[in-house]
Amino acid sequence: MAVQTVAGNATTAPVDLGPAAALSCRECGERFELGPLFACASCFGPLEVAYDLPTGSPEELRKRIEAGPDNIWRYAPLLPVPSDVAEKPNINPGFTKLVKADNLARELGVTGGLYVKDDSGNPTHSFKDRVVAIAVEAARAFGFTTLSCSSTGNLAGAVGAAAARAGLRSCVFIPHDLEQGKVVMAAVYGGELVGIEGNYDDVNRFCSELIGDPLGEGWGFVNVNLRPYYGEGSKTLAYEICEQLGWRLPDQIVIPVASGSQLTKIDKGLQELIKLGLVEDRPYKIFGAQAEGCSPVSAAFKAGHDVVRPQKPNTIAKSLAIGNPADGPYVLDIARRTGGAVEDVTDEQVVDAIKLLARTEGIFGETAGGVTLGVTKKLIEAGVIDPTLTTVVVNTGDGLKTLDAVSATSQATATIKPSLDAFRAAGLGTA
């Protein structure tokens, strides 16, 4: 039997991940060679990718990006991927629409410009395709043959699709009681899908055990032993938002928080754009959004705590139902450093916000989108989000996967016989 290292390393050959130079510890700064590691050997802090970023002029880099493909690979010079990434079989997510939401802005009293970054347009209809596409390249570089994850639903589908396309095996793990749309989307790509009797935090613990077991040998868990690479995919949301605004930072961004990875990496992406001179350096505020039924980060923010106390999730926003968020403390740091906030809304407000977005802009977001817009509305009303400034709301998933949230109140207006008399008698056609 082959020797299994703690991190599940399948190869020791040097790897080509483009500008990625090393892994560095977010707590103590110690550096490690690129590999399937996720925790610092000295202090157990989380690791992140450190880069040799491009050194040319900002104009050159901007032109190079703009000439690239209409997906996240246009930003390959800033990502841990080989330079020929665009030619490999991958799901090629990204460059989703940034919708100027004028109807919604009018309804919410926003005058400074309101935008919805609509990530439901990705290949498996959530932002998770961004992070998985990067993890696939890392899996290939490290010689993994099976792609895996612990998932709140969307990630399982993204991994299934990406593995199918890349010709890898997949075996993904979800809480057993997810929405039907998420289960089917995770199963249809033909890999193994395992429902675990427990919540996401139980699923995650199970996966950590599996990594240390011979059963998990040769497996790349996108959000565990490939997590440092996976996380970098979320930077592309920051790059796209700024490029689509004409290479400009927005003043305020509202982002849903589950593990907190996405929010922290959007901030990392914005910082890189400033450092590279691709956008003008000016202040921006980052706001985190949670559902009241799973609001460990928002509770800590409001209590002024630095540590996040775990909760047992109970909300319809299942994609955000992580009671013990790995990046919670970093979300608190970023919200406080930028002058933002972390807030939560009730399930009822989530449903109202899903319908508000659909009714005003023709965008059907999933429950996570309802959480984000619900929190945006609440913070505008509280005077925390400034309506005179440019605001971007991130819709991270597609409402077709969470139909139950709105099905009770979104039905046919009437059912009639196929005749004009019946239509007239029902008093319809006047809405």
Supply angle C-alpha 97, 98, 100, rounded to 5.
125
Instruction: Give the shortest CB-185-to-ligand PLP separation in angstroms.
Output: 11
Q: Coil, strand, or helix at residue 174?
A: strand
d(CA 397, CA 400): 9
Tell whether residue 258 is a contact of ligand PLP (CB under 6 A): yes
Nearer to ligand PLP, 9 or 402 (CB): 402
DSSP codes joined into one string, 185-206: HHHTTSSEEEEESS-HHHHHHH
Per CB under 6 A, contacts with ligand PLP among 76-105 are: none
Single-letter residue type at 27: E
The sheet with strand 47-51 has its strands ordered as 31-32, 20-25, 47-51
Nearer to ligand PLP, 61 or 263 (CB): 263
Single-letter residue type at 337: R
> Beta-strand (E) ranges in 211-336?
219-221, 252-256, 285-291
Pick the binder of ligand PLP from 71, 90, 96, 126 (CB under 6 A).
Answer: 126
Instruction: Give the shortest CB-324-to-ligand PLP separation in angstroms.
Output: 12
Instruction: Give the shortest CB-320-to-ligand PLP separation in angstroms.
Output: 6
Per CB under 6 A, contacts with ligand PLP among 370-409 are: 396-397
Tell whether residue 48 is a contact of ligand PLP (CB under 6 A): no
Place of tokens 């498996």: 124
Nearer to ligand PLP, 262 or 349 (CB): 262
Instruction: Give the shortest CB-144-to-ligand PLP separation in angstroms.
Output: 21
d(CA 174, CA 195): 5
Tell whether residue 257 is a contact of ligand PLP (CB under 6 A): yes
Q: Which stretch binds ligand PLP (CB under 6 A): 139-147, 251-259, 345-353, 415-423?
A: 251-259
> Beta-strand (E) ranges in 26-76?
31-32, 47-51
Tell whether residue 324 is a contact of ligand PLP (CB under 6 A): no
Q: Coil, strand, or helix at residue 398?
A: strand
Nearer to ligand PLP, 82 or 256 (CB): 256
Q: Which stretch binds ligand PLP (CB under 6 A): 11-19, 161-169, 257-265, 408-416?
A: 257-265
Q: Which stretch binds ligand PLP (CB under 6 A): 89-97, 199-207, 260-268, 352-360?
A: 260-268
d(CA 431, CA 427): 10
Nearer to ligand PLP, 76 or 322 (CB): 322
Instruction: Give the shortest CB-204-to-ligand PLP separation in angstroms.
Output: 11
Pick the binder of ligand PLP from 36, 94, 191, 260 (CB under 6 A).
Answer: 260
Comparing CA positions, the residue from 118, 125, 152 lying closest to residue 319 is 152
Count of residues in contact with ligand PLP, rule CB under 6 A: 17
Cα torsion 12, 34, 134, 173: sign: positive
Backbone angles phi, psi at 337, to 5 degrees: -65, -40
Residue 203 near residue 174 (C-beta atoms within 8 A): yes
Pick the binder of ligand PLP from 96, 199, 319, 376 (CB under 6 A).
Answer: 319
Tell whether residue 261 is a contact of ligand PLP (CB under 6 A): yes
Nearer to ligand PLP, 61 or 99 (CB): 99
Residues that bind ligand PLP (CB under 6 A): 126, 128, 152, 154, 256-262, 319-320, 366, 368, 396-397
